[in-house]
Amino acid sequence: MIRVLIVECMQEISSFNPLPSGYGDYRIRLGDELLEQRGLNTGIGGALSVFDRRGDVAVVPVMSATAPSAGILSADGWARLSAQIVGAVAARANEVDAVYFSLHGAMGAIGELDPEGYLLSETRRLIGPDRPMVISLDLHGILTERMLAQVDGFAIYQTYPHVDFADTGRRAAKLLLRIIDDDLRPETARVVIPALVRGDELVTKSGCYGDILRDAHRLEHEGRALATGVMIGNPFTDVPELCTQALICVERRNEETAQYITEMSRIFWDQRHRMQGKLIALDKAIAQARTIDGPVIFTDAADATSSGATGDSNVILKELMDAKYPKRVLLPIVDAAAAKAAACAGIGAEITVRLGGERDPGRFLPVTVTATVESLSRGRTQLETMRAPINAGLTAVLTAQNFTIVVISEPCFLFDRAVFYANGCNPQRYDLTVVKSPHTEYHMFDEWVVKNFNIDAPGSTSADLKSLGHSICMRPIYPLDPDLGFVPRVTWHQRRRTA
């Protein structure tokens, strides 16, 4: 019987969000609670579907810790979280033959800028050098040298917007079992590309990034590689090894793989200019939206809670109100004090509240709004894609003339319509909807709107990367340093074993 330990730790942070996150932001599941992910579109759900089909595999679920994207994790929060994860692994480490570790890859903590590397190092220390470990990662993660040194293989998301959570877990589980069954000692070819990227060309169905990924994944389908990927990192996670990196995992190193990853890296580099955010000034977008016959989207990627922003930007709201935009507007905002004021007043009451700037006052000044409280809720729902739970906290729907404002208390994922739907708001009934996410699945908005405007606005996840103030990541790096040359350098990585 092959006993596989399962552990998970996932959070994506923005170093430019001024408000640290804490231990309380994490949803902790222990032991058999992880098995509740069976059938769900999650990494663990996908991995379980593979392990469950093998009569000779027994899973040992120990702990899952997942948190919404936010600011860097506090030192106290990291100390408590890391101790709990390491303790959970230590309690079962001697019972298992292998490890599947589900990670995001873009964490950061005060005092530990490579949390995933620490957790993998500690897990390796506990299980010893001879038991295989495979990880799954978001393509927005950062695979560090320390992480690579601990693992035997990896599986990386292949879609953006992400829909292949379970598929990634399945690929990780299959790779882990193949390493065990065939006694493989995989090697990984890696090229670090000094580039940070954003924008529409990263949408894998339609953008040039997707073309590069599909060609790389062809190696897996043809049996020439165990795993491939191009991780573009999260440009808002300002850590020493932030970069783009091309990766190919094979049974043994060979010149063909080195040549392929070199050429793939050159192709990516040559298209780096295309893979930058194309933004429109807010006043121009408002002027154009006035004349469009049909619904439009204002994408506020600079305040994307799914990328680690605070969610309390009121810039678009204020500009629309100041411009006396006449059509029906739907928008979300994070403001716990305003939600509480609405709850105290009650449904049907008219209240005057200050909206925005609650969490990031350095960027956003509150705007005073007189509105009617239309509804109240606890803010509990599920993501459309993953069916994972959302907790937006106390939520109030306010109407101020032609504006419908969904006020939530806690930053949560806003990359689909779940929060809108859960509070009785259908975006298709509005002329303009503000979406606090750089991209969503096509059918959610882009399929039925006339135009999606990518707004140039301030925020801790702005696509104007040079405006953010990186101070830790490696330099030079494009576009922070535009006059930069690049010569691909292949490095090979193989985890050391005793035998």
Residue 330 is predicted with a pLDDT of 98
Ordered by where they begin, the domains of the chain are 2-275+489-493 (3.40.50.2300), 280-463 (no CATH)
Determine the pLDDT at residue 499: 63
The overall average pLDDT reported for the chain is 96
Distance from C-alpha of 198 to C-alpha of 189, rounded to nearest angstrom: 25
Lowest mean pLDDT among 109-118, 259-268, 359-368, 380-389: 380-389
Q: What whole-number distance in Å separates Cα of residue 23 and Cα of residue 65?
A: 10
Place 131 in a pLDDT band, splitting at 50, 70 and 90. Answer: very high
Torsions phi, psi for 144 (to 5 deg): -85, 165
Percentage, residues of the chain above pLDDT 90: 97
Q: What percent of the chain has pLDDT over 70?
A: 100
Residue 3: is it exposed, middle or buried by C-beta count within 10 angstroms (0-12/13-18/19+)?
A: middle
- pLDDT confidence of residue 385: 74
Per-residue confidence (pLDDT) for residue 386, from 0 to 100 = 74
Residue 376 — φ and ψ, nearest 5°?
-135, 150
pLDDT-derived band at 124 (thresholds 50, 70, 90) equals very high
Average pLDDT of span 412-437: 96
Q: Tens digits of per-residue pLDDT, 446-455?
A: 999 999 999 9
pLDDT at 497: 82
Mean pLDDT value across residues 383-403: 91
Encode pLDDT of 209-228 as tens digits.
Answer: 999 999 999 999 999 999 99
Of 229, 282, 220, the closest CA to residue 251 belongs to: 220
Q: What pLDDT, on the 0 to 100 scale, is given for residue 389?
A: 87
Least confident of 22-36, 267-281, 379-393: 379-393
pLDDT of residue 177: 98
Angle between helices 43-51 and 165-181 (to 10 degrees): 40
Q: How confident is the model at residue 440 (pLDDT cuts 50, 70, 90)?
A: very high
pLDDT in tens, 466-489: 999 999 999 999 999 999 999 999
- Structure confidence at residue 207 as a pLDDT band (50, 70, 90): very high
Q: What is the pLDDT at residue 34?
A: 97
| Distance from C-alpha of 423 to C-alpha of 428, rounded to nearest angstrom | 14
